[in-house]
Amino acid sequence: MQKTKVAIIGSGNIGTDLLIKIIRTSKLLEVTVLVGIDPDSDGLKRAERLGVKTTPKGIDGLIEMPEFNDIKIIFDATSAKAHHYNYEKIKAFPGKKMVDLTPAAIGPFLVPAVNFKGIKDLDNVNMVTCGGQATIPMVAAVSRVAKVHYAEIVAAIASKSAGPGTRANIDEFTETTSDAIVKVGGAARGKAIIILNPAEPPLVMRDTILTLSKPADREAIRQSIKEMEAEVQQYVPGYTLKQEVQFEDIPESDPVFIEGLGKVHGLKTTILLEVIGAGHYLPEYAGNLDIMTSAALAAGERMVASTSSATGS
């Protein structure tokens, strides 16, 4: 089967990790061009050594290249602000899809394990955030068993794994993730917190998910969570539950106050996760970046597979 040609915009950590991940592991995708804005970046130099065409002229440089005509999917690993500019350029070319790894959220949120089937035919999908990719599957796992009134996630990542792009997008991270907890995870209200942990040696990504739902069968929730863990592990092998799921009854006589919902009671579920990176380009502790590139790769491959299935090829 001939591989689908793709381009990656952004020659930083995320773009370069995605480049190497596709080259090493993908049976469906082929990176034709890596796009950057700094001709001296390690990503562009590494791509050239790997035989991948490059341009330091951003999206405009990509459009000028003859390879652009054959590219079907464009991964954007730049910034929220840059993605707005990039998409305005790309949407003039019908048939090309964008997978957005920034918090721009122009297109609908995509978490491959949760909602791929519902948005697979759109031309721009957003990969939420690293915290969203890690935690929203677990919110969705609870939601498919019981109505979730509120979900709060805390993503703790190594400070060393947070580059200038991540730090510049902190506000977008919290807003985008909170929104996706509702729209994809199924919670009535959502809140997201990110912690940059300066510990040495750097610690791997840890995520805490708290949900408050209607009372439900605890074993059914536990089983749903285990099934979701296995689903995410198909494209993020280092994604694991750190301990048994914890439950606590919040009685009607002693409810908690949630802004926008008022006093709420029900079943509190606590889920603790760890995400260890694959170590393709980034260190293993950078699971927050690895889960983004892994999810983006899964999105691209599923787009190709669904198109091939629809056409019978």
Adjacent-strand bridge partners of 211: 151, 269
- Active-site annotation holds for 130: yes
Residues 6+ positions from 285 with CB-CB distance below 8 Å: 158, 160, 161, 201, 202, 203, 204, 205, 276, 277
What the block records as the tokens of 281 is: 């380009």
Per annotation, catalytic residue among 90, 99, 113, 130: 130
Alpha-carbon distance 222 to 138, whole Å? 10
Alpha-carbon distance 209 to 151, whole Å? 7
What the block records as the tokens of 248 is: 């606590």
5: nearest Cα among 50, 69, 100, 79: 69
Residues 6+ positions from 207 with CB-CB distance below 8 Å: 131, 134, 135, 153, 154, 155, 156, 272, 273, 274, 275
Catalytically active residues are: 130
